[in-house]
Amino acid sequence: MEYLIELGYIGLFVGALLAATLLPMGSEVMVVGLLLNEFPVVQVVLVATVGNVLGSVINYGLGYWGSEFAQAKLKVSDATVEQARQRYEKWGAASLLLAWVPIIGDPLTVIAGALRINIWLFIGLVTLGKLGRYSVVAYLTLM
């Protein structure tokens, strides 16, 4: 944990960014560690949120620019793609508020890119969800 404190905000930003990609890791432990070492709450929550949202934007880009390539290489049928689109549209863009949820959140952001969801709507909803998550983690840590 001491290495985390030494890295501070840079470590938190990079960790939160990587945690939002398809890499299997979390960032909540970093947030808790910094808060317990008396780093300012607002700065910790904002740095974690910005890093995590940027990671989701990377996923969006992977879906946006890589979906046709992946579909061809993985031999995914048009019917399967259409089924994914219909499922996504059933829940709508509001499902992006759940981009922070483990296991489903990262693929959700890739799918949003593949479906060409408006990037500003994407960023707004993903930011709200992730800011809410880190705010709750901070509150529970410091209460």
pLDDT in tens, 14-69: 999 999 986 777 889 999 999 999 999 999 999 999 999 999 999 999 889 987 77
The more confidently predicted of residues 130 and 77 is 130
Domain containing residue 97: 2-142
| Cα–Cα distance measured from residue 49 to residue 69, given in angstroms and rounded to the nearest whole number | 30
Amino acid symbol at 12: L
Q: What is the pLDDT of residue 140?
A: 97
The more confidently predicted of residues 133 and 105 is 133
For the chain, the domain total comes to 1
Is the pTM of the predicted complex or chain greater than 0.75?
A: yes
Least confident of 2-6, 47-51, 69-73, 113-117: 2-6
Closest CA to 22 of 93, 111, 128: 111
Q: What is the pLDDT of residue 79?
A: 74
What tokens were used for 132?
Answer: 């809410």
Q: What is the pLDDT of residue 88?
A: 74
DSSP assigned state of 103? T
What tokens were used for 22?
Answer: 């398809």
